[in-house]
Amino acid sequence: MKPRDRLRIAMQKSGRLTEPAQELLARCGLKFRQSRDKLFCFGEGEPVDLLLVRDDDIPGLIAEGVCDLGIVGRNVLREFQFSNVEAGTGLDELRPLGFGHCRLSIAVPQEDAYDGPAQLGGQRIATSYPGLLGEWLRSNGVDAKVVMLAGSVEIAPRLGTADAICDLVSSGATLVANQLREAAVVVESEAVLAGRRELPADERGEIAELLLRRLDGVIQVRDSRLILMQAPRHSLAEITRLLPGAPVPTLTAVDGAPDQVVLQALCAGSVSWRQLEEMKRAGARDMLVLPVEKMLA
């Protein structure tokens, strides 16, 4: 293969991961010019180009060295690693990216009871993920028949071609529409940045490191919230315990109210309504949760 001095990232051409992946790269300061065939996008500022492909092809392109990095579901990456052991062992999940959340789950007909993996023994399970399902069955000591289907897995039980399925679930609406019920989670998935275990030893390695640093900054800011509130001094310990990411809050005295403080804290992760209500019960008031635009320690 010809040596390259530009980093090449593979991402999904059109699908659920396309928009959030593009947005993430834009936040990292990368700009691309799309070519006429819409397969290759030339990077305008940094020496980083994009290859737009079907998500299933991404792990193979990285393993073969056609691309250096890829944005792909953990489900697709792990499936590749289980079904192409030799090529797959060279690949690594470099960062979880916090979008494209779903799970690969086993689902059974609604009317069937499910009381554990052993019940799947001898059954036919339809899936597009034979590697991951096979590994789950082995590690649970279940001997079942894996029926490989490329798509429309969810209708297999109704068609009588399988007794259960193993497919991606996010809201569960598709399962309900097909009279199925989620029984066991095989893999919790989200989009990840995938790459070879060893970054390239040339300029591309340096560009990849720069990109990883920017990505870490972008993810940290995206997942951070600034919380402000007024609280009674005596409940500070309880309120601090409720803050995501165990931050050390900054306290400011309130004029004329010695038992009250204004609390400010940078939280790792979003703050739920439930957490806010618990803080309110502990005496907090005037709570504000703000997104963070930029951060420099």
Q: Give contact residues for ligand ATP (rule: CB under 6 A).
A: 12, 15-17, 54-56, 73, 75-76, 100, 102, 168, 170, 189
Nearest to ligand ATP by Cβ — which residue? Answer: 73
For ligand ATP, give the closer residue by CB, 14 or 250.
Answer: 14
Rounded to 10 degrees, the C-alpha dihedral 202/204/208/209 comes to 30
Q: Residue 157 binds which one of ligand ATP, Mg ion, none, with CB within 5 to 8 A depending on kind?
A: none
For Mg ion, give the closer residue by CB, 56 or 238.
Answer: 56
CB of 296 to ligand ATP, least distance (A): 33
For Mg ion, give the closer residue by CB, 49 or 57.
Answer: 57
For ligand ATP, give the closer residue by CB, 75 or 275.
Answer: 75
CB of 62 to ligand ATP, least distance (A): 15
Distance CA 113, CA 196 (A): 43
What are the two backbone dihedrals, phi and then psi, of residue 242, each rounded to the nearest 5 degrees? Answer: -85, -10
What are the two backbone dihedrals, phi and then psi, of residue 265, each rounded to the nearest 5 degrees? Answer: -150, 145
Q: Residue 10 binds which one of Mg ion, ligand ATP, none, with CB within 5 to 8 A depending on kind?
A: none
Distance of alpha carbon 274 from its chain centroid, rounded? 23
Distances (CA, A) of 134 to 37, 79, 296: 38, 10, 46
What is the H or E stretch that residue 136 is in?
helix 130-139
Q: Residue 75 binds which one of ligand ATP, Mg ion, none, with CB within 5 to 8 A depending on kind?
A: ligand ATP
